[in-house]
């Protein structure tokens, strides 16, 4: 679930109801491990890329009641054998590749990604309820018919170690790249056998997801498959928490993408539109969600408005502009490097 999609400006749009429980200390992102942040990619490692988890969360908050917050924990090692997450034999698979790009990732999780994930998950349970497990892996295990049994053991271990009920915590596993010229699409037949061993497993199709190379989706492919994870998860949740909110009541309200993003220079422009004369508040929030400053807090006339903001004194990190007009609330992120 690490992901290899290029992060583009559209991916930096943020919703405060979608959170990530940070897995690593990432000074470049202004994040500390074991803390909740508004989710903006990268959601896995400090310099990782777009992941299916990103659009899983974005889609979930779009479809769910406004009172519900979605949180993810993304612990992943690109290129790993799935058995790196087997708590009993992980040490046999911690150096599948000898290059630093692989070894450094394993070391960042203290040499034991499974236990690292469990520790984070246990901390997160103090704030919320685990409702599902997302899995996207298989390239390194291509052709290994025992892969479903490897996943079954890891899933069962997670359920036990986190005191979870399989009927309440399904596992969603995504297919690999199936576009022409793929390296590992044959693995999808094996992945699709997972529900034969795990009744609470569900398979997410990769059909129609574009590829950047023979093993990885392109950015749009990651967006599509991430949305499909969410669409499946929504069918599994208690329908009482799913809302069919009529968003037409907010027609005419918008907070446009921040420009430039990432920052180039000292100032940025924040543009918004309102359909009628409305009291508007616009605030800058830090990486942890704490307010840094208020840019606007007054009555604006109908139409489009742009506010310039000098951010030259801010340290590197991901920041958020929170816009409120009447009952409409929206947030956008800005990356300062």
What per-residue confidence (pLDDT) applies to 1?
A: 80
Task: Check: CB of residue 39 under 8 Å from CB of residue 334.
Answer: no
What per-residue confidence (pLDDT) applies to 302?
A: 94
- Burial profile 249-282: b = 16 or more Cβ within 10 angstroms, e = fewer: ebeebbbeebeebebeeeebebebebeeebebeb
What per-residue confidence (pLDDT) applies to 61?
A: 94
CA dist., res. 185 & res. 179, Å (int) = 8
CA dist., res. 87 & res. 216, Å (int) = 27
Domain 9-241 matches domain 247-336 at the CATH topology level: no
What topology is assigned to 9-241 in CATH?
A: Rossmann fold (3.40.50)
Sheet holding 328-336, edge to edge: 13-14, 328-336, 317-325, 278-285, 291-300
Furthest CA-CA distance within the chain: 65
CA dist., res. 229 & res. 243, Å (int) = 18
Digits of tens for pLDDT over the chain (337 positions)? 888 999 999 999 889 999 999 999 999 999 999 999 999 999 999 999 999 999 999 999 998 988 899 999 999 999 999 999 999 999 999 998 999 999 999 999 999 999 999 999 999 999 999 999 999 999 999 999 999 999 999 999 999 999 998 888 999 999 999 988 899 999 999 999 999 999 899 999 999 999 999 999 999 999 999 999 999 999 888 654 554 433 444 678 988 878 787 777 788 999 999 999 999 999 998 876 778 999 999 999 999 999 999 988 888 888 888 899 987 878 887 888 7
How buried is residue 237: exposed, middle or buried, by Cβ count under 10 Å (0-12/13-18/19+)? middle
Q: Which residues contact 292 (CB under 8 A, 6 or more apart)?
A: 283, 284, 285, 286, 314, 319
What per-residue confidence (pLDDT) applies to 244?
A: 40
| 46 dihedral zone (left: phi>0; alpha: psi -120 to 50; beta) | alpha
Residue 259 main-chain phi, psi, to 5 deg: -135, 135
Q: Domain ranges in the chain? A: 9-241, 247-336
CA dist., res. 206 & res. 223, Å (int) = 11
User: According to the 3-state scheme, what is the secondary structure of the chain?
Assistant: CCCCECCCHHHHEECCCEEEECCCCEHHHCECCCCEEECCCCCCCCCCCECHHHHHHHHHHHHECCCCCEEECCCCCCCCCHHHHCCCCHHHHCCCCCCHHHHHHHHHCCCCHHHHHHHHHHHHCCCCCCCCEEECCCHHHCCCCCHHHHHHHHHHHHHHHCCCCCCCCCEEEECCCCCCCCCCCCHHHHHCCHHHHCCCEEEECCCCCCECCCCCECHHHHHHHHHHHHHHHHHHCCHHHECCCCHHHHCCCEECCCECCCCCCCEEEEEEEECCCEEEEEEEECCCCCEEEEEEEEEECCEEEEEEEECCCCCCEEEEEEEEECCEEEEEEEEEC
Q: How many CB atoms lie within 10 A of CB 313?
A: 6
Task: Check: CB of residue 82 under 8 Å from CB of residue 147.
Answer: yes
Q: Which residues contact 180 (CB under 8 A, 6 or more apart)?
A: none
Q: At what angle do helices 219-236 and 52-63 cross, to 10 degrees?
A: 50
The hierarchical CATH code for the domain 247-336 is 2.60.40.2550
């Amino acid at each position: 679930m690490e992901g290899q999609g290029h992060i583009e400006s559209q991916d930096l749009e943020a919703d405060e109801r979608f959170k990530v429980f940070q897995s690593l200390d990432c000074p470049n992102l202004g994040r500390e491990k074991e803390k909740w942040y508004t989710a903006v990619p990268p959601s896995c490692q400090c310099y990782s890329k777009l992941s299916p988890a990103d659009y899983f969360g974005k889609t979930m908050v779009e479809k769910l009641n406004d009172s519900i917050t979605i949180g993810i924990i993304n612990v992943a090692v690109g290129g790993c054998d799935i058995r790196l997450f087997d708590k009993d034999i992980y040490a046999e698979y911690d150096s599948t590749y000898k290059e630093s790009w692989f070894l450094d990732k394993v070391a960042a999780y203290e040499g034991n990604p499974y236990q690292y994930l469990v520790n984070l998950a246990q901390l997160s349970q103090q704030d919320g309820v685990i409702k599902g497990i997302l899995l996207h892996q298989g390239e390194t295990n291509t052709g290994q018919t025992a892969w479903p049994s490897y996943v079954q053991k890891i899933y069962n271990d997670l359920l036990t170690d986190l005191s979870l009920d399989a009927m309440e915590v399904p596992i969603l596993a995504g297919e690999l790249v199936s576009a022409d010229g793929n390296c590992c699409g044959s693995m999808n037949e094996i992945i699709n056998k997972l529900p034969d061993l795990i009744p609470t497993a569900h398979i997410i199709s990769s059909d129609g997801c574009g590829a950047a190379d023979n093993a990885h989706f392109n950015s749009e492919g990651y967006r599509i498959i991430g949305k499909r994870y969410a669409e499946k998860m929504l069918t599994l949740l208690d329908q009482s928490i799913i809302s069919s909110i009529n968003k037409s009541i907010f027609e005419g309200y918008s907070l446009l993408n921040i420009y430039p993003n990432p920052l180039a220079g000292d100032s940025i422009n924040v543009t918004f539109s309102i359909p009628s004369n409305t009291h508007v508040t616009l605030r800058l929030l830090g990486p942890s969600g704490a307010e840094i400053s208020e840019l606007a807090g007054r009555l604006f006339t109908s139409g489009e408005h742009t506010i310039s903001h000098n951010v030259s004194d801010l340290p590197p990190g991901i920041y958020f502009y929170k816009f409120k007009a009447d009952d409409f609330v929206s947030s956008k992120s800005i990356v300062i490097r």
